[in-house]
Chains A and B, each alone.
Chain A
Amino acid sequence: MEKIIFKVIPPPVDWEKEKIRNFSKKIIKILENNEIKFLNLPEVVDESSRKEKRTVPYREKIDNIKFYSVLNKKFEFKPIINKICVRIKKKDFEEWILRIYKKGIRHLVLVGGESSKIKYPGYSVIESAKFIKKNFPDIKLGGITIFTRYKEPYRILEKMKSGIEFFVSQIIFETSNMKQVLLHLWRLVKLEQMKFPDIYVSLAPAKRIKDIEFMKWLGVEFPTAVHFYITENERKVESRTFEVIERMLDEIFDFMRKERLKLGFNVEHVMYSNLELSEKIIKEIRRRL
């Protein structure tokens, strides 16, 4: 299991080549400096079905496979490609898998829809996983876990049974739910005589209140006290977010020691301007490993 993976949002399609080049350089530098082998590349879509209004306007992004190819020309790394499997027709999905398989991609994170109320044309996460495991058994499959979701340990278990081996969490700003879900999951996998999956806990920095509000829009949950503390003073958002992350790391490492569980970390920048701050989190995790 990798200890740290790094999640990078592909740049917007309307960025100039020079800007994309600079952004790519920065990413490669972070990967090199911190000996990170895996880059987690999400598929970013306009999640317009969410109830609340976007706090940051949507800009179309470069396709994650394309961006991987751009980066890979300059630096060798292993991509973890995120795919929202429900959105595309089953046949197109099957063709897409074949295409990326031929490109040598062996790590995928299967992402479901935004809402269970929407009828999607494609495979569900479970169906996609079963299809891939049957036809491309050497692809390592990942899923998303949301620690605050109802019956999450059972959802993880169901996904594991369909062939998903690792999970990347939603960004967290509180560890209680994570601990509860993982302890429950540990009991479930023991009963099923399965191996505990690789879990990557996601952490992200923030510099402005706007960043926090955007994360909230994305569905990140903040306990009231934590939200109030971080957003109390615009000038302190960055330092207080980092302070909260440091405390969470203390708690996560304590939890790992106490429960003898191994967890990995998925560090995200969320906002393009916070790339350097996400490296600060990576370094903080490295320091504790």
Chain B
Amino acid sequence: MKIILHGVYPRSEKLVQATRDYDRKRITQEELNQVFKEDINALRELQKNFEYKTQGQFYFQDLLRPFSEITEEVEINGLKRFYETNCFYRTLIFKNFKLKENENFFNHYLLCDGMFEKEEKLVFTFPFVFFFKEYSRGIRVPEIKELLLYVISEIDKWGNKIIVFYEPSFGWRNLDEDERKEAKLFAEELKKFKNTKFFLHTFFFDVEKEIPFIFSLDFDGYGFDFYSNSVQKIMQNFPKNKFLLAGIINTDSTLIEKREMIVDFIDKISKFIDTDKIYLCPSGVPELLPREIMDEKIKNLNKIGGL
């Protein structure tokens, strides 16, 4: 069974400390970079038998912040709770939305300053439009789309990529008709990119009521948090020929998943979809867990999932 990691991966204690030391001017940029490299390499090693790898998005302060570097006049202010978690996001305040070319976004944030090749099979995670809207101000949905499409058009030239869009707003709040239209239009626009697969990942909440709408958005795959949703309800109408991001690594708990539970889950889900269309993955945001726990969970799943 294939495994895929998405989102920002938790930083090691060493990297957290190094970042603090750097902020307090106790170590140099070079020394900090060295620790970043160690974290990235360790994660690469952890995924050595995965088809698509994540670089961990370690340079992302959060999933929105790097976007401030490809737009003019953005202020980073405010502190907003990340949905119903213990994490916080800074709000991006767009004064006058205008795209700005900045190679650093791609080289530094996505390719980790040369540690990854453009041609590699990589997974990148970005916020979907409502998530983006939730943690920004002064930017309209069409502009968010423009911003995302700008990044995607560059990535698509590289080929061999999966882009996972995070959207916890499903099940969290009611989306109005205009918002739904915008989401549909965006999904349509993504179809023009032929070298990239696009997955929409929902998590944290029960999305049962939104399933028909989610499936009406023409993505290559859909992701679900199976700790907040039942297999039966999600899978009974799961569209044919689409991929499933099966959120089975519980990011709400430090307990390592039991073998029987994983085997039972795979057994249940395989009744609805071909196993080659399934990617086992974290149920929600990996960075909510400590690094060593997340590593352990992946090793465990890798051991059991490779049934």
Cross-chain contact A247 with B81 (CB below 8 angstroms) = yes
Main secondary structure of the interface of B (DSSP, over half): strand
Q: Tell me which residues across on chain A come within 8 A of B172, comparing CB atoms.
A: none
**Contact partners of B79 in chain A: CB under 8 A:** 225-226, 229, 240, 243-244, 247
**A174 CA to B80 CA in the complex, in Å?**
12
- Tell me whether A57 is interfacial, beta carbon within 8 Å: no
Q: Which residue of A lies closest to B80 (CB)?
A: A247
Assuming A243-B79, A244-B79, A247-B81, is B86 touching A226 (CB within 8 A)?
A: no
Residues of the B chain whose Cβ atoms lie less than 8 Å from the Cβ of A176: 86
A251 to B81, CA, bound (A): 10
Cβ of B212 < 8 Å from any Cβ of A?
no
A104 within 8 A of B: no
Whole-angstrom distance between the alpha carbons of A135 and B153 in the complex?
Answer: 78
Contact with A along B86-98 (1 / 0, CB 8 A): 1110100000000
Contact bitstring A153-176, B, C-beta under 8 A = 1, else 0: 000000000000000000000101
Q: Which residues does B use to contact A, with CB under 8 Å?
A: 78-81, 86-88, 90
Are A229 and B88 interface neighbours, CB within 8 A? yes
A231-288 residues at the B interface, CB under 8 angstroms: 240, 243-244, 247, 251
Complex contact B88–A226 (CB within 8 A): yes
Interface core residue of B78, B79, B86, B90 (most chain A CB under 10 Å): B79
Interface residues of A, count at CB 8 A:
11
The complex places the Cα of A25 from the Cα of B87 at a distance, in Å, of: 42
Contact with B along A206-225 (1 / 0, CB 8 A): 00000000000000000101
With a CB–CB cut-off of 8 A, which chain B residues contact A247?
Answer: 79-81
Assess the A174–B78 pair: CB atoms within 8 A. Answer: no
A94 vs B79: C-alpha distance when bound (angstroms): 49
Chain A residue nearest in CB terms to B23: A228
Chain A interface, >50% SS class:
helix
B86:A223 contact, CB within 8 angstroms = yes
Query: Are the C-beta atoms of A225 and B78 separated by less than 8 Å?
Result: no
C-alpha spacing A273/B114, complex, angstroms = 52
Cα-based distance from A240 to B78 in the complex (angstroms)? 8
- Distance, CA A244 to CA B78, complexed state (A): 9
Instruction: Count how many pairs of residues, one from A and one from B, have CB atoms less than 8 Å apart in the complex.
Output: 20
Which of A223, A226, A243, A251 is close to B78, meaning CB atoms less than 8 Å apart? A243
B86 neighbours in A (Cβ, 8 Å): 174, 176, 223
- Assembly CA distance A251 to B86 (angstroms): 13
CA distance A225 to B87 in the complex (A): 8
- With most chain B CB atoms within 10 A of its CB, the pick from A223, A225, A243 is A225
Whole-angstrom CA separation of A154 from B81 in the bound complex: 28
Distance, CA A243 to CA B79, complexed state (A) = 9
Binary contact readout A90-124 vs B (1 if CB under 8 angstroms, 0 otherwise): 00000000000000000000000000000000000
Can you add 12 more A-B contacts, CB < 8 Å, to A174-B86, A247-B80? A176-B86, A223-B88, A225-B87, A225-B88, A226-B79, A226-B88, A240-B79, A243-B78, A243-B79, A244-B79, A247-B79, A251-B81
Complex alpha-carbon distance, A156 and B87, angstroms: 27
Give the complex CA separation of A244 and B81 in angstroms: 10
Can you report 12 residue pairs joining A to B where beta carbons are below 8 Å apart? Answer: A174-B86, A223-B86, A223-B88, A225-B79, A225-B87, A225-B88, A229-B90, A243-B78, A243-B79, A244-B79, A247-B79, A247-B80
Please give me the residue from chain A that is nearest to B84 by CB atom: A176
When distances are taken between beta carbons in the complex, the residues of chain B under 8 Å from A226 are 79, 88
Chain B residues, Cβ within 8 Å of A244: 79
Question: Chain A residue with minimal CB distance to B88?
Answer: A225
Within the complex, the shortest CB–CB distance from B303 to chain A, in Å, comes to: 32
In this complex, what residue of A is CB-closest to B16? Answer: A224
The residues of A that contact B81 with a CB separation of less than 8 Å are: 247, 251
Q: Separation in Å of the A126 CB from the closest CB of chain B?
A: 31
How distant is A255 from chain B, measured CB to nearest CB, in Å? 11
What is the distance, in angstroms, from A250's C-beta to the closest C-beta of chain B?
A: 10
Pairs A-B, 9 closest by C-beta atoms: A225-B88, A229-B79, A176-B86, A225-B79, A223-B86, A226-B79, A244-B79, A226-B88, A225-B87
CB distance from A267 to the nearest CB of B (A): 21
Contacts of B88 in A (CB 8 A): 223, 225-226, 229
CB distance from A232 to the nearest CB of B (A): 10
Q: How long is the Cα–Cα vector from A247 to B91 in the complex, in angstroms?
A: 14
**Distance in angstroms between the alpha carbons of A229 and B81 in the assembled complex:** 13
CA distance A243 to B80 in the complex (A): 10
User: Which chain B positions have C-beta within 8 A of A174?
Assistant: 86
Chain B minimum-CB-distance residue to A176? B86
Distance between Cα atoms of A247 and B88 in the complex (Å):
12
Chain A residues contacting B90 (CB-CB under 8 Å) are 229
Q: Give the distance to chain A from B279, nearest Cβ to Cβ, in Å.
A: 30
Which of chain A's residues have a CB closer than 8 A to the CB of B87?
Answer: 225
Expressed in whole angstroms, the minimum distance between the Cβ of B215 and any Cβ of chain A is 30
Bound Cα distance A251, B79 (Å): 14
What is the bound-complex CA distance between A242 and B195, given in angstroms? Answer: 48
| Most interface-central of B80, B81, B90 (chain A CB within 10 A) | B81
